[in-house]
A and B are shown apart, each in its own frame.
Chain A
């Protein structure tokens, strides 16, 4: 295998930067490198690019520009929204409601909130990976401060009934903030925050072909959350620190291309994924998660019966196919997925799953090519 033949199906972890994003980054750094908070011509150029980008980005999500704050990524946005309402909260009985299948950024923040002595409710999901609205509702009361439920799961791609949840929880407690981590969903769905009834959301640039290190926190103008980073008065005094204008411009360019081409792009991705799954299903004893529920077009989480996924992942890598188990830990070794555990996947199979994720740069034929690598790798293991 030559290194440039490497087939990449781990777009859910990070997808390559789009050409327009590279261009926008380079252009901004060269003509508008100055600090966007300064008082001279070059700063104004930077500030103009920043605000134009904010307008365009807000537009894609049906939001007002002032509802968009730029962060270092999805993790920062999740941490901000989930933690800050519990700092100096006058109500010692304030509660957080989230789900057991959230991204680590949310679960880690929730754990921290719990360590402060606040009550945290973790809602489970059914065995298809769908969070049940009534289970969320059971945990809502007048003390609920934040509800955080992801729009689609990053390991399985299963889409959650966010609109239904947002409407029902607001009937019980109108003042709570409904936060949604949409980091994975945004790769292949059009999102209108207000229409979904979301008050805050986290988005990451590198999942849509923008650069790493830039993200978006959406916060509805009706919701108030204290600042996380203090210092300068950037970002409408919400977030201190020199704004990464080139990153913002680059993210905006990536998002523009992605939103414009989404329908065609999703059709292409879906076709590759279906061909991939069909071929695998015809040759191997597998189970594909989320086949009977609504699922993101780009994610395929497959259970290979009797195969240890760690070994399969290594074998696929050696054959030139890069995939993942869904959640990586710093040292490289991996633990059973908390998402699959929440789905009650039997312990016999929990270490037999791999996530294949397609993206904007996936080529026609990649699905079949990948399926053949998987099939021959597994046959070679026996």
Chain B
């Protein structure tokens, strides 16, 4: 079959292209150009840098497959970067990589594949697709340490039908070994971690330069007593310790951000404990299941047992069986039953409060 492979230039997607090619498929490699600097230069860090696309080109040449760089900078800028800045301005903690998968990468990639008459698309994500009767289920990768199903939670069964994740059943060391066996120069390349459009710079500087209104205001304790001033709500996320005036005895954490009044609330560690929160913009891989659920509230965090209640307008209420620290509005909550991913949504701003729906 003809497979369109998203190649970032890293070892994972290189191996995917190599594996599919060696299985006899017609492989087409594509690097999506998502972000560029003021002079059209590609980013220097993250998952799609200029040197990465050069690596991807070299791998494609080595594998003797056609390879293209396609430009999606416009929709990335609009749907991911603008959203990233907006969310910080609202005192939320965005996850641009999920946002990118959600609203740019897969969408464009699937459309491109269809136009090029490809039977499937493949990426180097660590996740598994299992066909169960007529449904396609999304599962955690066998190699749990690298599992990336969290960032793919927005894919539904109909989409998954056209996707393959060849790395779902192999481990990272095996991937590196395959890359070395195939003679790919990316075999021992470091994994990328940075946000591609922010790079090595502090994300706050990036946001600072792009927010035109001042969001500076007061830092207050839970009784509303002022503890000092802050330079802008986007400097803070819930659970943060940095930037809070010291000398308070026990360490203080940001517990809430009130964007409208530009107030940052701080409190003790135990005040960060959350047991009830809400998800918005939810989506499900197949139909919703409510038994034996657990939730991840951050990428690669542990699964916490929970119960859910479906609300109107694509929202749902999550009740953790045991309260936890560090549920951050803006991040995604992703629901599982065992290794099977059920669905997910964005954590809303009003933690621990009744949601007005």
A311 CA / B32 CA spacing, docked (Å): 12
| Beta-carbon contact of B66 and A310 below 8 Å | no
B130 at the interface (CB under 8 A from A): no
A283 at the interface (CB under 8 A from B): no
| Beta-carbon contact of B69 and A333 below 8 Å | yes
| Beta-carbon contact of B33 and A311 below 8 Å | no
| Beta-carbon contact of A331 and B28 below 8 Å | no
Q: Provide a sorted-by-A list of 5 A–B residue pairs whose CB atoms are within 8 angstroms.
A: A310-B71, A329-B40, A333-B70, A335-B71, A380-B117
- CB-based nearest B residue for A315: B116
A310 CA / B33 CA spacing, docked (Å): 12
| Beta-carbon contact of A332 and B53 below 8 Å | yes
Partner of B115, one of A315, A329, A334, A335: A315
**How would residues 283 to 323 of chain A score, 1 for a CB under 8 Å from any chain B CB and 0 otherwise?**
00000000000000000000000000011001101100000
**A310-B70, A311-B116, A317-B68 given; 18 more Cβ-contact pairs under 8 Å:** A310-B71, A311-B70, A311-B112, A314-B28, A314-B66, A315-B116, A317-B66, A318-B28, A318-B116, A331-B53, A332-B31, A332-B33, A333-B33, A333-B73, A335-B71, A380-B117, A381-B115, A381-B117
A310 CA / B73 CA spacing, docked (Å): 13
Most B CB atoms within 10 A — which of A315, A317, A333, A381?
A333
| Beta-carbon contact of B40 and A335 below 8 Å | yes
Among residues 31 to 57 in chain B, which have CB atoms less than 8 Å away from a CB atom of chain A? 31, 33, 40-42, 50, 53, 57
A334 CA / B68 CA spacing, docked (Å): 11
Q: Nearest chain A CB to B45's CB is how many angstroms away?
A: 16
- CB-based nearest B residue for A317: B66
Q: Nearest chain A CB to B17's CB is how many angstroms away?
A: 16
Q: Nearest chain B CB to A344's CB is how many angstroms away?
A: 20
| Beta-carbon contact of B115 and A331 below 8 Å | no
Q: Nearest chain B CB to A227's CB is how many angstroms away?
A: 29
What are the 9 closest A-B residue pairs judged by CB atoms, nearest first? A332-B69, A333-B71, A333-B33, A381-B115, A333-B69, A311-B115, A314-B68, A331-B42, A380-B117
- CB-based nearest A residue for B118: A318
Q: Nearest chain A CB to B247's CB is how many angstroms away?
A: 51
A311 CA / B66 CA spacing, docked (Å): 14
A307 CA / B117 CA spacing, docked (Å): 15
Identify whether the interface residues of A are mostly helix, strand, loop, or mixed: helix
Q: Nearest chain A CB to B1's CB is how many angstroms away?
A: 14
Q: Nearest chain B CB to A145's CB is how many angstroms away?
A: 27
For B28, list chain A residues within 8 Å (CB).
314, 318
Among residues 13 to 43 in chain B, which have CB atoms less than 8 Å away from a CB atom of chain A? 28, 31, 33, 40-42
- CB-based nearest B residue for A314: B68
For B33, list chain A residues within 8 Å (CB).
331-333
Most B CB atoms within 10 A — which of A310, A311, A318, A331?
A331
For A334, list chain B residues within 8 Å (CB).
71
For A380, list chain B residues within 8 Å (CB).
117
A311 CA / B42 CA spacing, docked (Å): 20
Among residues 323 to 382 in chain A, which have CB atoms less than 8 Å away from a CB atom of chain B? 329, 331-335, 380-381
Q: Nearest chain B CB to A206's CB is how many angstroms away?
A: 22
For B31, list chain A residues within 8 Å (CB).
332
A267 CA / B117 CA spacing, docked (Å): 37
Given A311-B112, A318-B28, CB of A331 within 8 Å of CB of B69: yes
A284 CA / B353 CA spacing, docked (Å): 59
- CB-based nearest A residue for B50: A331
A318 CA / B57 CA spacing, docked (Å): 16
For A318, list chain B residues within 8 Å (CB).
28, 66, 116
For A317, list chain B residues within 8 Å (CB).
66, 68
A332 CA / B116 CA spacing, docked (Å): 18
Q: Nearest chain B CB to A319's CB is how many angstroms away?
A: 10
For B71, list chain A residues within 8 Å (CB).
310, 333-335
A333 CA / B56 CA spacing, docked (Å): 14
Most B CB atoms within 10 A — which of A317, A318, A335, A381?
A318
Q: Nearest chain A CB to B325's CB is how many angstroms away?
A: 42
For B115, list chain A residues within 8 Å (CB).
311, 315, 381
Among residues 45 to 83 in chain B, which have CB atoms less than 8 Å away from a CB atom of chain A? 50, 53, 57, 66, 68-71, 73
A381 CA / B112 CA spacing, docked (Å): 9
Given A332-B69, A333-B71, A334-B71, CB of A314 within 8 Å of CB of B116: yes
A310 CA / B116 CA spacing, docked (Å): 11
For B69, list chain A residues within 8 Å (CB).
331-333
A333 CA / B117 CA spacing, docked (Å): 21
- CB-based nearest B residue for A380: B117
Most A CB atoms within 10 A — which of B66, B112, B116?
B116
A333 CA / B31 CA spacing, docked (Å): 9
- CB-based nearest A residue for B33: A333
A246 CA / B57 CA spacing, docked (Å): 33
Most B CB atoms within 10 A — which of A310, A317, A332, A334?
A332
Among residues 6 to 41 in chain A, which have CB atoms less than 8 Å away from a CB atom of chain B? none
**How would residues 105 to 141 of chain B score, 1 for a CB under 8 Å from any chain A CB and 0 otherwise?**
0000000100111000000000000000000000000
Q: Nearest chain A CB to B5's CB is how many angstroms away?
A: 13
- CB-based nearest A residue for B72: A333
A254 CA / B42 CA spacing, docked (Å): 38
- CB-based nearest A residue for B40: A329
Q: Nearest chain A CB to B182's CB is how many angstroms away?
A: 21
For B50, list chain A residues within 8 Å (CB).
331
A329 CA / B33 CA spacing, docked (Å): 12
A331 CA / B73 CA spacing, docked (Å): 13
Q: Nearest chain A CB to B9's CB is how many angstroms away?
A: 12
Q: Nearest chain A CB to B114's CB is how many angstroms away?
A: 8
For A331, list chain B residues within 8 Å (CB).
33, 40-42, 50, 53, 69
- CB-based nearest A residue for B64: A3
| Beta-carbon contact of B40 and A332 below 8 Å | no
Q: Nearest chain B CB to A284's CB is how many angstroms away?
A: 15
Q: Nearest chain B CB to A125's CB is how many angstroms away?
A: 24
